[in-house]
Chain A
Amino acid sequence: MDIILNLLPHIINGLALGLLFALIALGFMLIVGVMELINLAHGSLFALGAYIAMTLIDPNIAGWGSFGVWYMELSLTLRYVIGLALAPAFVAIVGMGLEICMRRTYGKKAEYGLLLTFGAALVIEESIRIIWGSSEQFLPVPEMVSGAFIAGGMIYSNYRFFAAGFGIFMIALVWLFLEKTPYGSIIKAGAHDSEMVRALGVNLTVLRLMVFGLGASLSAVAGVILTPIWGLRPHVGVDVVIPAFLIIVLGGIGSFWGAVVAGILVGLVVGIFGAYASEWSLMSMYILLIIVITFRTRGLFGKKSALEN
C-alpha cells in the first residue's frame, strides 16, 4: 500500500509531463507527417514564440508613449492571453517564410531540407541573442495559475496542471481540425499521397505553406506554455528538438495518436525514473525508444512512412 501511495504522485506527475511532451511534439509531427521533412528549426521556433510572448506580456514600454501606459494598465491575464494568441501567429508567418525558402529543396535528397532547417535554427537563435540578449529571461504567468496547492500531503504547482490541461485542449483542437474539417482531410490526404491530392485540384504549394505555418505556430504555443517551467534562454530550443523527434519516432511517423501516446509514455518513464533512479531519468526515454523500435520498427502506431522510400 505504501508503495502505491509513494508511486501515485509520480504517476500523476508523469502524466502531466507526458501531456507537455505531446504538446511539444504536435507541430513537429504535423510537418513530418505532411511534408516528410524533419524540421530542425522546431526548437528555435519554440524559443522564438516564447520570446515574442514575453515581449507582449511584459514589455519594456520606454518609447511607447501613452499607448505603453495604457497597455501596461491591462491585467496580466489579458496580456498573457494576447501573448498566447499573437506570438504563435507571428511565428506562423516566420514558419511560412521558412517554407518558401524550402521550396528549392523539394524533390531533392532529404539532407537539403535538414541542412536548411538546421541553418534556419542557427539564424533564429542568433537573432534572439541579438534582440533579447543571452541572459536568462522570465515569462510571467497570470496570478490565477501561479502558486501551488497541497493534495495528499504533497505540494503541486498550479501552473503545471494548467499547462497539462492546456496540452489536452490543444491536442483536442488539433484532432478536431484534422478529423472534422475539410482542411484537415486535405492535409491528411496530402500526407498519404500528395500527387493524388494535386491531381484532384488541390493547390499543393498553398497546402504546404499552411501546414508549415500551422506546425510553426504549434511550436510557438508549446514555447509559451513550457518556458515558465523550463526557463527562457536563447538556446532553450535545443532542449526541445530531441524529445520531439524521439516522440514522433516512438509513436510512429505521421501518427497523431502515436505522438500523443508516445508523449505520455515518455513523460511517465521520465517521471518515474526521476523519482527512483534519477541518474537514468534523461536516458530512460532513449531506452524506451530502443525497446519499442526493437519490436515495432515503425513505432507504436506507425504505418509505412514516405520517409522510408
Chain B
Amino acid sequence: MVSKNFTKTTRVLAAGMAFAAITAGSAVAAEPLIIGLTSDASGQYANSGASDRRGMQMAIAEFNAKGGVLGREIKIVHIDTETTPATGSRVAERMISRENVGFMIGAVSSGVANAISQVAQKYGVVYLNTNSSSPTESGKNCHRVKFVWDGNGKNFAQAAVKNAISSYGKDWLLLTNDYVWGHNTSKATRQLAVSHGAKIIDEIMVPQGTRDFSATLLKVQQKNPKVIAAAVGGDDLKALRQQVGQLDMGAKYAWINNQQDWPDVYGLPMKNLFGVFGTTWYYKLDLPGVDDFVKRYQAMYPDTKIRVPGNVFYNGYWATRSLLEAIETAGTTNNHAVIKQLEKLRIPAATRMQHDDAYMDAKTHQMQQTVYLATANTGSNDKDDMFRILSNSSPEKVADMAAQSTCNLESFADTPVVTR
C-alpha cells in the first residue's frame, strides 16, 4: 500500500520535474537576441567598417561562449551600409521591420550614423554609433536611443590645438573633407584655434572621393601656413598621406590630423604617417589587460592582415560589450531599461585599458574617455608598432562642452517602447 505522504511527495516531485522540464525547455528554446551590425563593407570606410565589425563580433562571441545574454543566444545580422547615408536609412528600416533586430551597432561615417539614428529613434531601437566622430553626433543630432562611443572632433582638437599654437605658430590652414564630419571638425578646430590666438589663413575643401591632392598641396605651399589642421578621413586621407609623403611635405609643416583611425594607416610606410594626431586607444599602451586583449584578438582573427587591434576595433568591441552588460544588468531587453543602464555607465580605467575612468554623459550620450595624442614611431623596427604616444588627456580636459547645449534628447515618453 502506498502512503498518502508518499503520493503527495511523488506529486510534488513530478510537478517540480515537470516545471523544471518546462523551464529548461523554454531556456533551450529561448529566442535568440538578434543584433544588427550596420557597418560599412564598401565605399570610403569599407576597411574601417570591417575592423569595427570584428570588434563587435569578438564581444558577441565572448558573450555567447558564456551562454549569451539573459540566457539567449546572440545572433548577428549584417547589411552593408555602403558609406552612404541613404543606404544607412534603408538598412536600418529593413533591420527593424523585417529582420526583427533588437539593437543596432556600427558606424564610421557620421552621415551614415545620423541617417541610421533617425530611423532608430522613430522605432525606439537602441543604436550604438561606434566610430563616427562628428561633434554633431552627440550635439544637435543626438537622440535618446543613440550612444556615441568614439571621441569627437572637438575632443581631439581640445587635446591638440593649444599646444600646437605655442609650439609651431599662429598661421593655420584648414583642410576640410567636404561632408558633415569634416565641416564640424574643422569648425570646432577653427573656434578653438582662434580663441587661443591663431589666425586661419585659408580653408581648403576636399570633396569626398578626392584621389589627387596635387592641386591642394600646391595651394598649401603658396599659402605657406605654419600649421595644417586636416579633417580628412578614410580613403581620401590615405591618398593625401601618400602624396604628402611623396613630396616630403610631412616635415615642412606642422600637421595636426584630428584623428587617425588604425585601419587607415596600418601597413603604410612610416614616411606617410606624418604629423600629430589623436586616438582613443593603442595596442602598446602600458596598461593592465592590453596584452591579453591583443592575444584574444589574434586568437580570434589569426588570418586578418591587421595583426594587432586598433582604435576602431576597440570602439566596436567596447560598445557591444557595454550594451550586452547593460542588458544583463537591466535584466531585460526593454529599450527604456537598457537606455537607463547605459546612461549611468561608468567603466574603471583598469577594465577599459585607458588612463582614466570612462563614463557615459547622460546629457549627450557620448562616452567620455581619455584622448591620446600620437605621432609616427620612426625609431621602431616592429612593423606593427607605428605610433608613439605623446600625451594623454583626461575626459574632463577634452570635454565637448558645446554639445551639452546643442544636444536635446527626446523624452522617454516620445521614445517608443521596444522589447525584443
Give chain A's interface residues, CB within 8 Å of chain B.
6, 9-10, 13-14, 16-17, 133-138, 146-148, 153-160, 228-231, 233, 235, 239, 270-275, 278-283
A233 touches B268 (CB 8 A): no
Taking A10-B215, A235-B46, A279-B207 as contacts, is the C-beta distance between A157 and B235 under 8 angstroms?
A: no
A208 to B85, CA, bound (A): 42
A13 to B205, CA, bound (A): 19
A50 to B266, CA, bound (A): 19
Q: Which of B235, B246, B267, B269 contacts A160 (CB 8 A)?
A: B246
Q: Which of B206, B221, B263, B305 contacts A278 (CB 8 A)?
A: B206
Taking A136-B264, A138-B268, A155-B221 as contacts, is the C-beta distance between A17 and B214 under 8 angstroms?
A: yes
A231 touches B239 (CB 8 A): yes
A124 to B238, CA, bound (A): 22
| 0/1 interface trace, chain B 52-88, chain A, CB 8 Å (1 if under) | 0000000000000000000000000000000000000
Give chain B's interface residues, CB within 8 Å of chain A.
42-43, 46-47, 50, 178, 204-207, 209-212, 214-216, 218-219, 221-222, 235, 238-239, 242-243, 246-249, 252, 263-269, 272, 304-306
Q: Is chain A's interface secondary structure helix, strand, loop, or mixed overall?
A: helix
Q: Which of A138, A155, A274 contacts B267 (CB 8 A)?
A: A138
A270 touches B178 (CB 8 A): no
A220 to B210, CA, bound (A): 21
A9 to B220, CA, bound (A): 12
Taking A136-B264, A279-B205 as contacts, is the C-beta distance between A274 and B235 under 8 angstroms?
A: no
User: What is the minimal beta-carbon distance from A149 to any residue of chain B, in angstroms?
Assistant: 10
B269 touches A138 (CB 8 A): yes
The 5 sampled A-B contact pairs (Cβ below 8 Å) are: A136-B265, A153-B221, A155-B248, A231-B235, A274-B216
Apart from A10-B215, A229-B243, list 9 A-B contacts with CB within 8 A.
Answer: A9-B222, A10-B218, A136-B238, A160-B246, A231-B211, A278-B206, A278-B207, A279-B207, A281-B210
Q: In the complex, what residues of B have CB within 8 A of residue A148's CB?
A: 246-249
A13 touches B218 (CB 8 A): yes
The 3 A-B pairs at the shortest CB distance, nearest first, are namely A274-B215, A133-B305, A279-B205
Q: In the complex, what residues of A have CB within 8 A of residue B249's CB?
A: 148, 155
Taking A134-B50, A281-B210 as contacts, is the C-beta distance between A275 and B243 under 8 angstroms?
A: no
Q: Which of B43, B218, B247 contacts A275 (CB 8 A)?
A: B218
Q: In the complex, what residues of B have CB within 8 A of residue A137's CB?
A: 267
User: What is the minimal beta-carbon distance from B294 to any residue of chain A, in angstroms?
Assistant: 17
B212 touches A134 (CB 8 A): no
A17 to B247, CA, bound (A): 15
A278 touches B218 (CB 8 A): no
Q: In the complex, what residues of B have CB within 8 A of residue A17's CB?
A: 212, 214-215
Q: In the complex, what residues of B have CB within 8 A of residue A158's CB?
A: 246
Q: In the complex, what residues of B have CB within 8 A of residue A272's CB?
A: 215
A11 to B221, CA, bound (A): 15
